[in-house]
Each structure stands twice: as C-alpha cells, then as structure tokens.
Structure 1
C-alpha cells in the first residue's frame, strides 16, 4: 500500500509550488527556509521523484511537481470547504456570486454598511456572467442579470425597478438639446444589455437608431466611458447611481421623453440551502437599502 505523506509536508509543498519560492513559502508558513527545503527534500525522497528543479536563485516545478500541485491544490480547497461547512463560523459566512457590473457599481459601495449593521458576518464575493451552481455548494446566493429561468428549487427576489436612459458627462449634455442631436454624438453600447438604443429610439418614436460608435461587454465599462466624456451611454440608473449622484453623469433630456423601465437584477438562493436565513436577511437588506 502506498504510504501517504503527512499533511504538513503536503502543505509545505503546496505553498512552495504555488509561490515558486522556498523563502516565500517559509514566510507564509512562519518557518525557516531551511525547514521548507528539508521538508520538500524528504517528500521527494519518500515519493521517489523530483518535484522541483533548483537553481541558485529560483525553484521551478518539474512535470511531476506540476501534476502533484494540481491535485494538491484541489484537495486543500475541498478540505477548506469541508471545514467551512462544519465550522461554528460557517453560520456567519455568506458566499455570494454576482453579475460583474452589479458587483462593481452597486454591491461594492453598499457592502460596508451591511457589514457595519451585521457585525460578525463575513461576505465573500465572486463575479462572473454565468449563473451560480448551488448543487456544488460553492455559493449561498447569486445576484443575476435577468430573471432566473429555473425557479423550482430557488427563492427569487427582485432587486427593484431600474430606469434605462441616455447618460453622459455634463459637458456632452450641453450639446444635446433634443434626441435628434444624438445622431451627431458617439453612442456607447453595452453588448449584454437587454435594452438597447433601438428600444429607446422606438419608445420615443424617433425611427431607426444609428449604429453605436463603441461597445463594451460590461455595463460598468460603458458607464465609465460615458463619465469620461467618450459619448452617450444607454444605461441603468441603478448601476450608474454613484456617477449620477456625484455629477459625473447626467440625463441629457427632460421627463417628456420615455425611458425604459424594467427589473434588471434578481437575488436567488436555494430553498433548502444551509445559509438561506442569512441569504434572506441580505436580500431584504439589499431591497430596503437607501
């Protein structure tokens, strides 16, 4: 039977392999560099294979070392998740997945207040455009753009109405007396937005919309471009709340023009999830945030 190395030896190896340095691993693990070097050498002797190529200044993983690191890293991640699940601290940890623009423009500015109002709670955030898979236990809640399709095993909370309207920097707004003036200005497109310029032009009876001058795959990039004076973006007042509040962005046209309204973002969490109470608490707070 294969004799398994000790957990401490594998931890030292993982740290040295990940950091690419025995000295850095020693600092991370509060050991001496010689202790790290000796532990790695013993591990190599026990396994009968070289894990590192050593030079006077650097260490580099061998092919065997790369293979072992891949498995070791995933094993430690699984171990961390297991400990996290049974730990007494798990009840105060909310693992949140979030749409990138909402994370950058809405969630990040609001989280400090939530944490102040809920001492002892820890929130971990990961952002991507994909939906969270709750079956693997990585996340407790997900803030998504667009209503989730499969709602059978989920609690879905709408995060409020959003107004989508033209937004631009104040100096650009001075050149926009009526929507017809948009034809002479660079239009900024958010590629993944459900409401596009054609929808706004149609809602206001303005005929076909001109093609955009530039496009971005994230709303927060389109908002930043408009705030920097690069053109006019068609964006959500929720995502652009900070820029509207501090005057970096303005709505160039008055209330006589129709702006698109919709519920853009939702918070979803499992009905039977271990953190459903904390997720519900966070959802209620986010909806009521002022």
Structure 2
C-alpha cells in the first residue's frame, strides 16, 4: 500500500534540513501542517522517523533507511515533471575531496559550463570520507567504491612525486655545486636519497600519520627514512602544496595538483621517482539515476577530462 504521497516531500525536506520550521519555510507551509504530514506518514509506516528531544531533531535508524530509499525516487519524479513542463535547467550537486575540488575541478568548471550551459552545478567539499547518499549530493568523486546500488567509473590512480619552488630548486643546485638541470637530474638518478639533505614537507592527510609519505618514498630508494631530516608538518595535502610553493621545502604532491603548463611559475617537479598511494578515484552515482541528463553530462565530461590524469610513466 502506498504511503500518503503528500507527506513524502515533506519528510524529505525535514530530513534534509533537520528542522520542521525550516522545512515549513521551504515548502511554504505552516509548521503545524508539516508536523501533521510527518505524523500521518509515521502512522502509516508504524515507525517513528525522528527522535524529538526538545528543540533537537534527528532521524531514527528507520528514518535514515526510509530517507535513503525515497530520495532518489522523489528526484526522478521531479526530473520527469520538469521535462514534461519543458524546463531545461538541470541541477547537479557534486561532493568531492577538498584538494581535488580546489586544484583540479574548480579550474575546469568554466569549460564544463561553456559546454553545458543548462547545468546548475553546486560543489560540496569534504576533508575526509564522503557519505554516498542523496542527502549529501547527486554524484561524487571518491576513493570509496563499497556502496550497494551505486555505479563507479574509474578516473585516477593516485601517485606522489617530489616538487619544489623555482627559488628552492636554484638553491639546491647551488648547495650541491651543480650548474645545470642535467647535473641535478644525473645526481638524483643515481642518488635520489640526497633529497634528504634538504628540508622536506610532509602531510598527515594521505596516510593519517606524518612522515609516512616520505618513509615510503625513501623505501623505494632502498634507504630508511633519515634520522636527521628537517621536516615541516602540515595536516592537509593542500597546505603541503602551498608550503612547497613558498620554498619551505620539498613536498610530495600528486598529478591532479600539478600541471606543468599551469604551475610552471609555482612548482618544479624534481627528476626522480614517484610512489603510488594505493588510492583509486572514482566518479560515483546511484545506478538508478544513471540516465538523468545532468549526471550523464557531468560523467561524460569528467571521464574525458580525467584522461589527462592517467600518467604515461
């Protein structure tokens, strides 16, 4: 038996906004009308959907499951209705890790908007794991691919390589008494561990521990992490990028943060080896929503753009 259909968009709004009063404002209803619709839905289901503790509101476990189950259906109904009415605007919410959003996605958004002017894009950034749920976004750029009912398209295998600022690079050559780029390339080819002679920048975010990035890099040379390293520690890869750019030391960054054409005045990639982090990035969306025009357009564009992230070496 179908539930009271008028109550479903009311429930979705309350669950998303976590507030009866805000839902009432959004839906242009009185708060008592919102409460009435929620009670009718709970009576029909025979379950409480919200915990009510004074002014605080939260979803019960049954409420969370119900929200996740109906959100995509409501979205598809709204989309189908818009098509019938001839509305061409397509809203797409994308959730993405902050460093990927700032360094790779944002510079390319003007191109996406030029190719698809009908899209109404909103971006949500996350520092840690992304919750794959309609209440968070319509599609995701994530390293997680363990979510039932979702489709995942591979876009990038992460690797880290050493970089420094042009000024720092020149000071390295002077310190090592080297005259040319070839000299420093020859040295680092045979003795990459010489990077440990200089200050290094480490970030917490990749491995959730400081210095693990450089420990793995030095392990590739057959050497342990030197005991006498001068290290500058930063919580996030974005901060490590900025620290290297401002000559605090040599940092380890990845492909989506580095583009030789755009950052040639900011950072120089040092001629030595890289390491792979083991993280794979995916474009994710609910399989049931795969044919929605907005998601389909973003997917095609993103996969095409991400082809440059697949390194040759």
TM-score bracket relative to the smaller structure: 0.5 to 0.7
Partner of 1:182: 195
RMSD: 3.2
Q: How many residues align?
A: 216
Q: Structure 2 CA distance, aligned partners of 1:274 and 1:287?
A: 15
Residue 258, structure 1, aligned to residue 273, structure 2: yes
Equivalent residue, structure 2, for 1:113: 111
Secondary structure, counterpart of 2:104 in structure 1: helix
| Distance change (3 Å), C-alpha of 1:265 and 1:127 | same
**8 A Cα contact 2:132 2:140, kept in partner:** no
Aligned to 2:131: 132
1:279 aligns with 2:275: no
1:231, distance to aligned residue in structure 2 (A):
1.0
* SS of equivalent to 2:257: coil
1:53 corresponds to: none
Corresponding residue number in structure 2 for 1:8 = none
- Written as runs of structure 1 = structure 2, the 5 A alignment for 1:206-245 is 206-209=223-226, 213-241=231-259, 245=263
After superposition, the Cα gap between the structure-2 partners of 1:271 and 1:120, relative to the gap in structure 1 and judged at 3 Å, is same
Cα deviations across residues 141-200 of structure 1 (Å, max 9, x unaligned)? 0112x3x14243111112124441011101212306443332232211121114711111
> Match for residue 73 of structure 1?
22
Q: Over residues 91-131 of structure 1, what are the superposed CA-to-partner deviations in whole Å (9 max), with x where a residue is unaligned?
A: 61111111000010011001110110012111100101231
Task: Tell me the residue number matched to 2:214.
Answer: 197
Residues 113/213 of structure 1: CA separation in 2 closer, same or farther (3 Å cut) = same
Q: Distance in 1 between matches of 2:26 and 2:146?
A: 29
Partner Cα distance (1:212, 1:132) in 2? 37
- For residues 77-96 of structure 1, what are the structure 2 equivalents within 5 Å? 86=78, 88=82, 92-96=90-94
Q: Which runs of 5+ in 2 are unaligned?
A: 1-18, 29-70, 174-183, 309-313
What is the rounded CA distance, in whole Å, between the counterparts of 1:77 and 1:202 in structure 2? 56
Aligned to 1:173: 169
Is 1:152 matched up with 2:137?
A: no
1:267 to 283, 292, 301: 283
Residue 247 of structure 1 deviates from its aligned partner by: 2.8
